[in-house]
Every structure is written in structure tokens, then in C-alpha cells.
Structure 1
Amino acid sequence: MLERIEQRYCIKFYYDLGDTQVQTIQKIQQAFGDEAMGITQIKEWYNRFKQGQTSVESKPRSGRPSTSRNEEFVENVRRIVEDDRRITINEITEEVGISTGSVHTILMEDLAMRRVSAKFIPKFLVEQQKQLRLEIAQDLLDCANSDSDFKKNIITGDETWVYGYNLESKFQSSQWKHQTSPRPKKA
């Protein structure tokens, strides 16, 4: 909680200096790194100071406090996603027992994760297959360079259509990843 108040002081300081909202967000994220408040929170506090609020303390609120974004739930969601990167928000919601919106906010803001589809590549080749392709291409290139009539001897035939049926949809193959994680691949 102390760190949040420090960030609020920084937001107030940047506002008083005349920094824009975007500049303030960038500076807070640079200064606090992974511990920085979410963009929405920074914008909210920036606007409060713009409207004349001088205190960095939150105003007392009625009702019960939100308990679905505490460290325990964030850690549970992180563990679940690390165990199965293909898990859906609804499945996490059922397993953890908090709202869909809270799970979404935890994934996007607290854990900085995004759901991405796997990049389709024609085929994963082993090193031996790659080497064979290289040798065949080199042989064809040597033939073309040494024989000027090489292209006249090439015979083309019918095109054959091959239909590839994939049992898994694009969404089913998507998974959660951090910004620094490599994009998943699918053969």
C-alpha cells in the first residue's frame, strides 16, 4: 500500500510540473517497472489532481472492499495459467471462484499477459530434413548455372490439391503469454 501512495505522489508531482497524462504514465512505468499501477489507475489519479484534489489518500468508500484482486488470487491465477497456457478465462473463473472481469483484469493488468493464436507454419523440420532440402536446392542451382537449356527440360504436371483437416480451431490453439515470451507455433 505504501508503494501505491508513493506512485500517487509522483503522479501529483508530474501533474504539477505540467506533464501530460501520457508522459506521466510513461514516467511511472519507467520508475516502478512491474510494480507500477495500471494505466487506468494512473489516469484516474491524474484526472483527480487535474480536477483540484490535493490529497494522495483515497476517499473513504461505502460497501465492502474488493477482495478478488488480492495477492492470493493473483498468485492462484498465475499458477493456473503457467500449468496450462491454453486455459480459458471461464475455466479459470470456475477454478478460482472469482468473477470473469476480475480474472480478465488480473491476467491483463497484474500479470501483463495476452492471449495469442499460434503462428501456423507448414511443418516442423528436423535438422536432417533441413540439410536435405538445402542439398537439393544447391543441386538444382548448380544444374541451372551449368546448363543453359536446363529450364527447357523441366516438365510440369497437374496440380494436386491437398486438404488438411485440423482438429483444433485457431482459438483452441491460442494460449496466454507475456510480452517477452515467444509466440507459440503450430505445425
Structure 2
Amino acid sequence: MENIVEQRVCLKFCVSNDISCGESLKMLRKIYGESCISKTRAYEWYKAFKEGREVVVDLPRSGRPSTATTKENIDKIKKLVLENRRMSLRELASEVNISFKSVHNILIDILGMKRVAARLVPKELNFVQRAQRKHVAEDMVSRASTDPTFIKRIITGDETWVYEYDMQTSQQSSEWRLENEPKPKKPRQSRSKIKVMLTVFFYYRGVVHSEFLPKGETVNKEYYLGVMKRLRESIPRKSPDLWQHNS
């Protein structure tokens, strides 16, 4: 509580010196870090001081005083959220045995957290996969810089499982995050039980050949020989310029 009052005093000082609320909040974050009050609270108090408020402590309220926002409960909620960022307010309230409103107040006003929807990415890669892709990319750039036609002569391919769409909603994938934390990520698809394998080949102008694995077929040597034969037949039709260059 003393920490919060100190920040209000700082805001009042900034108002007196005509420092904007945005700049004031930047200074508070630099000094107090994770303990800094939320942006919403900062703007509320800045506005109050601007309008002439002198008192920096909360005024007494009518009714029974709240005892839910104790340091113990704040620490409990922060620990729970950092362990499982997708916990709902009701789950947290049940776990800590305090009201829904008190949990909301602790998360938003005291911890300065907010619910952020995950950003879609093609797939999550581990460290080894990222390093390998970086190495291949650097090699490709090096070759392309010495031979301008290098990229144009490449046909590359890959296989992927195509699933029925079973997407998570933004609400389902959202997580509690502190103001200085990055947005969470999620895979573009949530895998369902129904899937089919897609094989696709492409070059710098687009797709050359693609096909789905027929039902009942097995991916083996014979299957891939057939795929390569059909790819070769597709090149003259879909990419005559590539075929003419004898690539």
C-alpha cells in the first residue's frame, strides 16, 4: 500500500510540473517495475490531481471494509496466474476463496495485468529447429547473392497434415499477462481427429504440384516415386519457363 501511495505522490508532483500523464507513467514504470500501478489507475489519479484533488490516500468508503486485497491474496493470485495463465476469474476466486470482484481488482488494478489473446503463428519451433532454419536461410542467401538465377531454379516441397478446423476462440486462448510481457502465441490449428496428408511443391512463382494422400494409401517408397513422376509431368504445364531453362 505504501508503494502505491508513493506513486500517487509522484503523479501529483508530475501534474504540478505540467509533465504529461504518458511521461509520468514511463517514469513510474522505470522506478517501480512490476510494482507500478496500472495504466488505467495512473490516468484516473492524474485526472483527479489535475482537477484539484489534494489527498493521495483512498477516502473512507461506506459499508463493510474489504479485507480480500491482502498481500497474501495478491501473492497467491500472482503465483496461480504465472503457473496457469489461462485461469478464469471465477477459477481464481474459487481457488483463493475471495470474491470475483476482488480477484478482478487484484489482477487489473494492483498487478496491472490484462487478458491478451494469443497471436497466430504457423507452428512453434524448438531451439534446434530454429538454428537449422537459420543456417539453411543463410546458405540460400549466400548462394543467391553469387547467382541471381539460383532461387528461380529451385523447386521445394513438403508434406503437412490438414486437419478439420477445430479452432480455439480468442477468449479460450487468451492468457493473463503483465504490461511488459509479450503476447502469447498459439498454433494456427487445433488438431482434430479427422486429417489428410497434403504434399505440395512450389517455386518462386507459386505452386507447381500438389496432391492429397488417397484414403487407404501408405506413404512409402513406391508412393513417393509416383509423386515425383506426377511432379515432373506437372512442370511443363504449370511452369513452362522452368522447364525451358532445363532446371
Measured in 2, the distance between the counterparts of 1:112 and 1:8 equals: 15
Measured in 1, the distance between the counterparts of 2:107 and 2:76 equals: 11
Return the TM-score normalized by structure 2. 0.51
Superposed displacement of residue 81, structure 1:
1.9
CA contact (8 A) 1:85 1:175 kept: yes
**Which structure carries more strand by proportion?**
2
CA contact (8 A) 1:89 1:100 kept: yes
In the alignment of these two chains, the number of paired residues is: 172
Superposed displacement of residue 6, structure 1:
2.5
What SS does the corresponding residue of 2:163 show, helix, strand or coil?
coil
Superposed displacement of residue 100, structure 1:
2.8
- Where in structure 2 are the equivalents of 1:39-118 lying within 5 Å? 39-118=39-118
Aligned partner of 1:164 in structure 2 is 163
Measured in 2, the distance between the counterparts of 1:55 and 1:92 equals: 33
Task: Sort the Cα spacing of 1:175 and 1:59 in 2 relative to 1 into closer, same or farther, 3 A.
Answer: closer
Task: Sort the Cα spacing of 1:57 and 1:88 in 2 relative to 1 into closer, same or farther, 3 A.
Answer: closer
Name which one, 1 or 2, has greater alpha-carbon Rg. Answer: 2
Q: Partner amino acid for 2:18?
A: G
Task: Sort the Cα spacing of 1:175 and 1:124 in 2 relative to 1 into closer, same or farther, 3 A.
Answer: same
CA contact (8 A) 2:116 2:183 kept: no
Aligned partner of 1:23 in structure 2 is 23
Task: Sort the Cα spacing of 1:102 and 1:14 in 2 relative to 1 into closer, same or farther, 3 A.
Answer: same
Aligned partner of 2:186 in structure 1 is 185
- Unaligned runs of at least 5 residues, structure 2: 156-160, 189-247
Superposed displacement of residue 124, structure 1:
5.3
Return the TM-score normalized by structure 1. 0.63
CA contact (8 A) 1:118 1:170 kept: no
Superposed displacement of residue 183, structure 1:
2.8
State the identity as a percent: 32
Supply the RMSD in Å over aligned alpha carbons.
Answer: 4.1
Task: Sort the Cα spacing of 1:79 and 1:32 in 2 relative to 1 into closer, same or farther, 3 A.
Answer: closer
Q: Partner amino acid for 1:32?
A: Y
**Which is bigger in relative contact order (C-alpha 8 A, separation at least 6)?**
1
**Which structure carries more helix by proportion?**
1
Superposed displacement of residue 166, structure 1:
5.0
Q: Partner amino acid for 2:28?
A: I
